[in-house]
């Protein structure tokens, strides 16, 4: 029986291209392939997406830290140089940035990726 292809709305973890889902005949195994040719089994795709999610959340933490450093630097610059600039909004934003980073850190700490038993997985994700 020929391979059945179904377009998904899932982006490729490597290139963000749309993945197509393939199921060969009556077999239990699914493959996901993007136009470039990146290929995944169902298990490897889930694992790649979990890693992508964790990386993205840590990147957000890093960006929040950079904004926090810049906010602190600007506040110190304003105060040290006696600049006639309102700092209430900046001080409020600094508190927001710290709180938002803490919430994302909590999300990361509370996340438990599934420990999947791959005995039933055909980890071969040959191209279609």
Q: How many residues appear in the chain?
A: 128
The average pLDDT across 11-34 equals: 91
The average pLDDT across 97-120 equals: 86
Q: Helix 42-80 crosses helix 88-110 at what angle (to 10 degrees)?
A: 160
pLDDT digits (tens, 9 = 90+) for 60-101: 999 999 999 999 999 999 989 988 888 899 999 999 999 999
Structure tokens at 28: 């239990």
Question: Which pLDDT score, from 0 to 100, does residue 119 have?
Answer: 57
- Of all residues in the chain, the percent with pLDDT exceeding 70 is 87
């Amino acid at each position: 029986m020929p391979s059945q292809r179904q377009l998904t709305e899932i982006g490729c973890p490597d290139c963000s291209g749309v993945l197509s889902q393939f199921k060969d005949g009556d077999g239990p195994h699914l493959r996901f392939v993007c136009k470039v040719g990146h290929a995944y089994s169902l298990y490897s795709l889930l694992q790649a997406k979990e890693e992508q999610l964790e990386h993205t959340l840590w990147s957000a933490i890093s960006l929040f830290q950079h904004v926090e450093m810049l906010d602190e630097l600007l506040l110190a610059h304003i105060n040290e140089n006696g600049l006639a600039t309102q700092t209430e909004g900046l001080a409020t934003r600094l508190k927001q940035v710290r709180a938002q980073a803490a919430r994302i850190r909590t999300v990361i700490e509370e996340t438990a990726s599934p420990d999947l038993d791959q005995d039933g997985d055909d980890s071969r994700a040959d191209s279609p």
